[in-house]
Chain A
């Protein structure tokens, strides 16, 4: 239930934005989760539904998945993250701290661990809609 902690962060951030935007009620929150972190969508959805405060009572949480793109800084190669090529323990370690991908993943072309996670790292709050 590591997702619970992330859901709390989403609610706190969304609440802060709602206050800044002077929204009386929040109706829709769109969240993007990167494949690298492997957040369980159902658990996140459940945690969000349990944690939502009164002004989020009628809010829908849309969770979309983003593919993870990695780009090698040494040779410029770009590739997609594929957890099936990794062991269960490694996938779990990356689930908790995506940056340890640099410990376990190497550029398939040149073998360097010096790559950039250009897209699809972890969790992002993409948009929030509500009524003033």
Chain B
């Protein structure tokens, strides 16, 4: 007995230039906001961009984007709709904003199913909003997606950075490329995350101050792109550090 779905995954992704998993060790560090702002910024800079919400049990990018009635089309697979210029995929098309209580095996199966049947077409970037930690989604992407790269988001908190350290150790031991670390919700001038990132041999990509206006921008692309968070992401994209 063979699961045929895994064989087709890299074929489905072959017309995507770069696949970036926006990840974190802990939840609540602003990973979904960074992923969404990154996807929108890349798109505004003229790239063809997809956004895939892989945080199946706690999806939130649809709320950040203000997705309303969009639904995928069915044509030799699933064709995600274009939302705010992004080719956008999420489990919410099927769970319809109700709870999706999934154990590890179910998360893996849903992830494999969507990777096997989603027809992304040609993209410059596919940004993946990951669930926090180093569980099934991270392990499956490393196992199944040949060209996966990670961008890690943390806060200045020691608690968040300690989980990042473990995630980095895992990725480095498996020789998975890490683009670098983004420090979000910064409230002081402390440089500890920057120093620790250097010790890990990684690129410190951006520091984003805590921005209370982000909450007001949820569901509104224009407001979101006007936040300090989005401006910092724009600087990151312009710097060619990705």
Residues of chain A having any CB pair with chain B under 8 Å: 1-2, 4-6, 8-10, 12-14, 16-17, 32, 93-94, 96-100, 102-104, 113-114, 117, 121-126
Contacts and interface: CB of A to CB of B under 8 A. Distances in A.
Nearest to B94: A93
B5 interface: yes
Nearest first, the 6 closest Cβ-Cβ pairs linking A and B are A5-B77, A13-B4, A9-B8, A99-B110, A4-B76, A93-B94
Contact of A5 (B6, B8, B99, B101): B8
Interface residues of B, number: 35
A28 to B, nearest CB: 15
A9 B95 contact: no
Given A99-B100, A102-B100, A6 B4 contact: yes
A32 to B, nearest CB: 8
Main secondary structure, interface of A, reads helix
B77 A13 contact: no
A45 to B, nearest CB: 15
A76 to B, nearest CB: 16
Given A96-B78, A96-B94, A5 B109 contact: no
Interface in B86-137: 91, 93-96, 98-103, 106-107, 109-110, 113-114, 116-117, 119
Nearest to A6: B117
B212 interface: no
Given A4-B77, A5-B78, A93 B4 contact: no
Contact of B76 (A5, A16, A97, A104): A5
Given A5-B119, A6-B117, A100 B100 contact: yes
A100 B95 contact: yes
B74 A123 contact: no
11 contacts: A5-B119, A6-B4, A6-B5, A12-B4, A12-B11, A93-B95, A102-B101, A103-B96, A113-B101, A124-B4, A125-B2
A99 B109 contact: yes
A5 to B, nearest CB: 3
A102 B1 contact: no
Nearest to B98: A103
A113 B98 CA distance: 12
A13 B117 contact: no
Contact of A122 (B91, B93, B94, B113): B113
Contacts of B195: none
Given A2-B74, A17-B2, A93-B95, 11 more contacts: A1-B76, A13-B4, A96-B94, A97-B91, A99-B102, A121-B109, A122-B5, A124-B2, A125-B2, A125-B3, A126-B1
B17 interface: no
A36 to B, nearest CB: 11
Nearest to B4: A13
A93 B5 contact: no
A1 B74 contact: yes
